[in-house]
């Protein structure tokens, strides 16, 4: 197989096919488009960030996005194309969707998983392609707790074809496990979710070890970054919040007890994850429930937790919110979660990522410029337009590197537009 061509056409190392080495990597700021900018430096959104041994060319991240398209937890060519497209569009970092560490930890029967060795190779295929394009890739490890065994949102359930409210619960006939759903306490998320069984201490430790095993498999697959999913009402968040955690043992009651499971999991993963590779944690900064101080999960507790996570070797807090109760009342608007990221960055003194309805490039750039967050995570914005980064760069007046196979054409378009 051809892996390189003589002369200047050097192929990407370790690729089983010829693809030119991408140096500098896509997304790297090359020069300013003078007619659009009076600045002499690249906008902060397009400046590099170094985390441990990993360097990102810009601050734009493809956020983990559930696509409910895996088979028995195993990813397919769908995921290769879905994630691979972003490696051709100048992003700084790509994340694989929430990947369950146990079969019962999946949100739906169609979720990504990493609980067995057979799931490594399909993931490595994706990692190898992304790396061949000079781009970094991470994986989000998760356990959905009491929100597991649900129906994928686009599946029509028999008998509900004309019903706007599709049931959340995935019965066994749809591949679900409604009688094997677990949580910190036997409290269902709502009447359309399963009744969870309260985890024993032994089971809690087993799930922690499942994270460790998944992290080791992620290492074998070649991932650059692991993110632990402790948000959106999934298992760790369920332990954190008094709304869903009514335990009276060492994993319930006080703040210290409620965060114990998350901290133990983090410590164990950090110990087996390469020292030169970053570890992220996604949290929900607030339950968005106003029922009195200390009766739900709030930003003050999130700051306190973030400090503890930093002490354990976490490099960045990916700051989201909500998802733990249908009683939440979210003030939904553009950049509505950014103040949470800003507060955690300021008071926990740790890198943060901002996520949530950030679609305008200027707003994204302002968030980094103002020191509110260090990375910008986009999800729906990329589903709407996979070329968001290229268009953002043009809007902000900067020429970025794109894959060599595309770059000569894109550069001509940008230069042509700047002359008009």
pLDDT tens for 212-262 read: 999 999 999 999 999 999 999 999 999 999 999 999 999 999 999 999 999
Residue 76 per-residue DSSP state:
-
* Domains of the chain and any CATH numbers: 29-419 (3.20.20.70)
pLDDT at position 158 is: 63
Q: Do residues 260 and 204 make contact, with C-beta atoms less than 8 angstroms apart? A: no
Residue 15, pLDDT above cutoff 90: no
Percent of the chain with pLDDT over 70: 92
**Banded model confidence at residue 39, pLDDT cuts 50, 70, 90:** low
What global pTM score does this model have? 0.94
Q: Can you count the helices (H) and strands (E) in the chain?
A: 12, 15
pLDDT at position 308 is: 98
Q: Is omega for the bond preceding 258 within 30 degrees of 0, making it cis?
A: no
pLDDT at position 173 is: 84
Instruction: Tell me the C-alpha distance between 247 and 236, whole Å.
Output: 14
pLDDT at position 291 is: 81
Q: Is 234 a catalytic residue?
A: yes
**Banded model confidence at residue 411, pLDDT cuts 50, 70, 90:** confident
pLDDT in tens, 87-134: 999 999 999 999 999 999 999 999 999 999 999 999 999 999 999 999
The predicted model gives 331-356 an average pLDDT of 95
Percent of the chain with pLDDT over 90: 81
Residue 7, pLDDT above cutoff 70: no
CA nearest 403: which of 94, 82, 86? 86
pLDDT at position 4 is: 45
The angle subtended at Cα 45 by Cα 41 and Cα 50, nearest 5°, is: 95
**Banded model confidence at residue 167, pLDDT cuts 50, 70, 90:** low
Residue 37, pLDDT above cutoff 70: no
pLDDT at position 303 is: 98
* The two three-digit tokens of residue 141, written as one number: 């490890």
302 to 86, 283, 318: CA distances (angstroms): 31, 8, 11
Residue 1, pLDDT above cutoff 50: no
Instruction: Tell me the C-alpha distance between 82 and 96, whole Å.
Output: 10
Give every CB contact of residue 105 below 8 A, 6+ residues apart in sequence.
115, 142, 143, 144, 145, 148, 207, 210, 235
* The two three-digit tokens of residue 402, written as one number: 């794109």
Residue 2, pLDDT above cutoff 90: no
Helix 201-221 crosses helix 120-132 at what angle (to 10 degrees)? Answer: 40
Q: Is the torsion defined by CA of 62, 64, 70, 73 positive or negative?
A: positive
The predicted model gives 172-176 an average pLDDT of 89
Catalytic residue (one of 211, 234, 261, 351): 234
């Amino acid at each position: 197989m051809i892996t390189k061509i003589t002369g200047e056409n050097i192929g990407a190392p370790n690729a089983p096919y010829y693809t030119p080495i991408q140096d500098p990597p896509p997304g790297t700021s090359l020069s300013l488009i003078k007619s659009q900018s009076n600045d002499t430096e690249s906008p902060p959104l397009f400046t590099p960030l170094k985390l441990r041994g990993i360097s990102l060319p810009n601050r734009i991240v493809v956020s983990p996005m559930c696509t409910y398209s895996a088979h028995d937890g195993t990813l397919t060519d769908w995921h290769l194309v879905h994630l691979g497209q972003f490696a051709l569009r100048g992003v700084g970092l790509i994340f694989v969707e929430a990947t369950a560490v146990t079969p019962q930890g999946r949100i739906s029967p169609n979720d990504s998983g990493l609980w067995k060795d057979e799931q490594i190779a399909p993931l490595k295929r994706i990692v190898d392609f992304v790396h061949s394009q000079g781009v970094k890739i991470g994986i989000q490890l998760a356990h959905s707790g009491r929100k597991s065994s649900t129906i994928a949102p686009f599946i029509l359930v028999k008998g509900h074809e004309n019903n706007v409210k599709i049931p959340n619960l995935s019965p066994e006939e749809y591949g679900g496990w409604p009688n094997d759903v677990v949580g910190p306490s036997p409290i269902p998320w709502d009447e359309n979710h399963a009744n969870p069984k309260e985890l024993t201490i032994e089971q809690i430790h087993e799930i922690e070890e499942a994270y460790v095993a998944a992290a080791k498999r992620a290492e074998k697959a070649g991932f650059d970054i692991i993110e632990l999913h402790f948000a959106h009402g999934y298992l760790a968040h369920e332990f954190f919040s008094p709304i869903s955690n009514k335990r009276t043992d060492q994993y319930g009651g006080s703040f210290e007890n409620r965060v114990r499971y998350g901290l133990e999991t983090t410590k164990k993963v950090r110990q087996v994850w390469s020292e030169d590779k970053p570890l992220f944690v996604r949290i929900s900064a607030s339950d968005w429930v106003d029922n009195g101080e200390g009766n739900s999960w709030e930003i003050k507790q999130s700051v306190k937790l973030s400090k503890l996570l930093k002490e354990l070797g976490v490099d960045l807090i990916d700051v989201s919110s909500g998802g733990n109760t249908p009683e939440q009342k979210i003030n939904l608007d553009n950049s509505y979660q950014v103040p949470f990221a800003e507060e955690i960055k300021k008071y926990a003194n740790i890198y943060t990522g901002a996520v949530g309805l950030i679609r305008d490039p200027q707003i994204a750039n302002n968030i980094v410029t103002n020191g509110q967050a260090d990375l910008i995570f986009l999800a729906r914005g990329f589903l709407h337009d996979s070329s968001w980064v290229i268009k953002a760069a043009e809007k902000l007046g900067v020429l970025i590197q794109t894959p060599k196979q595309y770059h000569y054409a894109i550069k001509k378009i940008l230069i042509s537009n700047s002359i008009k």
